[in-house]
Structure 1
Amino acid sequence: MRRETLVALLSRAGEAYEACRAALGAGAGFDIAAGLVPASQLAATYGVRDEITRDAGIPTLGFAEAVEHLRDAGDQALRLGGVRADNPPYYFQLFLSADASSVVACIGVDQQHQVRNRAE
């Protein structure tokens, strides 16, 4: 997938989408996985991850909203993607339609705690 195409697919309003678009525009690395996963399975997994990140005090963007979008997608097959921004260090988890023609959900997770933990 071309960078410009992915930026265009992130047209939805919301902090996670806007920050991910900005990161891609600034040259952040990205990848799109080849495999497919049912949205219901992703909703269960990321629902737990949302709780874990909140309990750990890790800043996120759009996590709860993304889990709701995944639940709404039922058993629809989704493709995962990721965007890594260095400054500030953020990781964006993307959930795309099976044909990668739309972004169903986007989550941003602050990676600053990872940098601090490695330094300690």
Structure 2
Amino acid sequence: MNRADLAEMLNEQTAACEPAKAALLGGGDFVIWDGDVPGQQLASIYAARHRRARKRGTETLALSATVDILTQYGTAPLRIGCIFTRDRTWAFMLFLAEDASAVLACTGVRQVDP
């Protein structure tokens, strides 16, 4: 997948999509990993990450909304990707359809030690 194709898929799925798209178009690194993970499993993982982020005071974008979206996908297989801002102060996790044809959700997490 190329940068332009991914940017086109980042719309208004969550409030983190616009800053993720800006990071991507601003030259940030990105990756879409091979393989898939069931949506419900991702929802559990990211719900735990959300609890830890709140406890630690880590700034996030759309993490709760992303967990809600992932929960809706149940056992459906999803792909995972990530976009980093050029300065590595933010990481945006992407959750895509199994065939990587659409971004389903996006969350951002401020990096403590970029």
TM-score by length of 1: 0.90
Q: For residue 108 of structure 1, what is the aligned residue in structure 2? A: 108
Q: Which runs of 5+ in 2 are unaligned?
A: none
Q: Which runs of 4+ in 1 moved over 4 A?
A: none
- The residue type equivalent to 2:113 in the other structure is Q
- The residue type equivalent to 1:15 in the other structure is A
Alignment partner of 1:7 is 2:7: yes
Percent identical residues: 38
Q: For residue 25 of structure 1, what is the aligned residue in structure 2? A: 25
Which region of structure 1 is more displaced relative to structure 2, 13-22 or 32-41? 13-22
Alignment partner of 1:61 is 2:61: yes
Distance in 1, Cα, partners of 2:92 & 2:24: 10
**3-state SS, counterpart of residue 44 of structure 1:** helix
1:52-107: CA deviation from partner (whole Å, max 9, x where unpaired): 00110000001000000000111110001011113361001110000001111101
Larger helix percent: 1
1:18-63: CA deviation from partner (whole Å, max 9, x where unpaired): 0000001100000001111000100011101000001100000010
**3-state SS, counterpart of residue 8 of structure 1:** helix
Contact 2:94/2:103 (8 A) holds in 1: yes
Larger strand percent: 1
**What is the number of equivalent residue pairs in this alignment?**
114
Higher relative contact order (CA 8 A, sep 6+): 2
Q: How far did residue 15 of structure 1 move?
A: 2.8
Distance in 1, Cα, partners of 2:2 & 2:20: 15
TM-score by length of 2: 0.95
Q: For residue 96 of structure 1, what is the aligned residue in structure 2? A: 96
Distance in 1, Cα, partners of 2:107 & 2:73: 16
Contact 2:3/2:24 (8 A) holds in 1: yes
